[in-house]
């Protein structure tokens, strides 16, 4: 069984498996590894650092990759999009904001526009903006997101927008997730936490160790880590991270944390520089409970696809 569908055709990839453009963690090396295995690697443009972006496209070499941006942050320095498009990315993924101001430029440059959404209304707006592919992200995902669960959001978006292929994100870490996503009406998956726990990911070894050791119960959604790094996001977004001493102390006490922001922000910055993850956040989703090793990113792609193929074949036989 081979997964040939609109996503693989539009993105010109062998497997419908995409790397989430995680800020800093999804660098050029990791993106290239995912693409080389037949998926699509997306460099994490994040909040926007032009020099970093140039270095990571260079690190990806001649491998065909894309990149992703936080849309509301990109709007503050739109020239970053031009720098990315200068590298002829296969796709540009925009998340958390209106893609309309950037859509025409992306498509005119020959890149595919991928829009990540967290609600049906956002999906409809993305389609109206000309998205080639929509990523329906459930609240199980690591990092920033909203409230809808993957299980219901994906089929609702797929049903409402039959002309736009949908990719599922949130809580997916193996072939079971890919097979389930296909049954829900998606035509691929986007994985972040699973690729964070890979050899190539640009994350700290201790952060990866905690992901492998943890369970889905070890995460929470809050704005504690955003307050602590003085980067609170617009509504309705908050972030899922691994629970640690800092998050546990301040969860439910966010107003008090804001009142102590100066001291706590300095403490948090020191912890982040020292890789002290009892204070600094490991940004990961509920899928960490399905992760038990640190393979190469290419192995993650091939293993995910093979497991999904096996499950779907067995299901068809039954």
Question: Which residue shows structure tokens 């062998």?
Answer: 14
Q: Which residues are known to be catalytic?
A: 144
- Helix axis angle for 175-183 and 297-317, nearest 10°, is 50
Question: Which residue shows structure tokens 């650092």?
Answer: 49
Neighbours of 255 (CB within 10 A): 8
- Coarse DSSP helix, strand, coil percentages of the chain, rounded to the nearest 5 percent: 45, 15, 40
Contact between 132 and 7 under an 8 Å Cβ cutoff? The reply is: no
Contact between 227 and 238 under an 8 Å Cβ cutoff? The reply is: no
- What is the Cα gyration radius of the chain? 18
Residue 181 CA from chain centroid, whole number: 16
The pairing of strands 238-242 and 219-222 is antiparallel
**First and final C-alpha spacing in the chain:** 16
């Amino acid at each position: 069984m081979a997964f040939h569908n609109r996503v693989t055709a539009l993105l010109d990839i062998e497997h419908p498996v995409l790397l989430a453009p995680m800020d800093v963690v999804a660098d050029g090396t990791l993106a290239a590894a995912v693409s080389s295995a037949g998926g699509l690697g997306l460099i994490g443009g994040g909040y926007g650092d032009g020099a970093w972006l140039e270095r990571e496209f260079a690190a990806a070499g001649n491998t065909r990759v894309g990149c992703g941006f936080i849309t509301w942050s990109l709007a503050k320095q739109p020239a970053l999009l031009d720098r990315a498009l200068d590298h002829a990315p296969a796709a540009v993924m925009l998340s958390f904001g209106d893609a309309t101001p950037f859509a025409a430029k992306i498509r005119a440059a020959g890149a595919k526009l991928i829009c990540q959404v967290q609600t049906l209304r956002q999906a409809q707006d993305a389609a109206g903006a000309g998205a080639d592919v929509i990523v329906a992200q459930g609240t199980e995902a690591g990092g920033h997101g909203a409230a809808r669960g993957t299980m219901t959001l994906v089929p609702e978006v797929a049903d409402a927008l039959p002309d736009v292929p949908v990719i599922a994100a949130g809580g997916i870490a193996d072939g079971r997730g890919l097979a389930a996503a296909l049954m829900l009406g998606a035509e691929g998956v986007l994985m972040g936490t699973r690729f964070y726990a890979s050899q190539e990911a640009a994350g700290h070894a201790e952060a990866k160790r905690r992901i492998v050791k943890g369970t889905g119960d070890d995460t929470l959604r809050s704005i504690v880590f955003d307050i602590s790094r003085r980067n609170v996001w617009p509504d309705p977004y908050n972030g899922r991270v691994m629970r640690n001493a800092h998050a546990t102390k301040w969860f439910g006490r966010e107003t008090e944390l804001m009142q102590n922001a100066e001291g706590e922000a300095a403490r948090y910055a020191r912890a982040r520089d020292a890789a002290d993850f009892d204070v600094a956040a490991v940004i990961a989703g509920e899928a960490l409970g399905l992760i038990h090793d640190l393979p190469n990113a290419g192995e993650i792609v091939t293993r995910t696809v093979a497991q999904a193929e096996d499950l779907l074949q067995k299901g068809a036989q039954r």
